[in-house]
Amino acid sequence: MEVQLNHIEGIDLDRDALARHLAAGARRFVQCGFDGADLSRLDLQDCVFESCTFHDAVLYAAKLARSSWQRCRAMAADFESADLVDAQFKGCDLNNSKWRRARLASASFRSCKLTGASFEEVSHLGASFEESLLVGADMRGFSFRKASLVQLDFSDADLSGCDFREAVFEGGSLREAVLKLARFEGADLRGAELGGLKIADMRAFKGAVISHAQAAVILGEMGLLVS
Q: Record the pTM.
A: 0.91
Residue 200 identity: A
Distance from chain centroid for Cα 174: 15
Q: Per DSSP, what are the bridge partners of residue 8?
A: 3, 29
Nearest-CA neighbor of 110 among 89, 82, 80, 85?
A: 89
User: Which tens digit of pLDDT belongs to each residue from 32-73?
Assistant: 999 999 999 999 999 999 999 999 999 999 999 999 999 999
- Show Cβ contacts of residue 77 under 8 Å, excluding neighbours closer than 6 positions: 54, 55, 56, 57, 58, 59, 94, 97, 98
pLDDT of 150-196, one tens digit each?
Answer: 999 999 999 999 999 999 999 999 999 999 999 999 999 999 998 77
Q: What is the predicted pLDDT for the residue at 227?
A: 62
User: DSSP character for 218?
Assistant: H
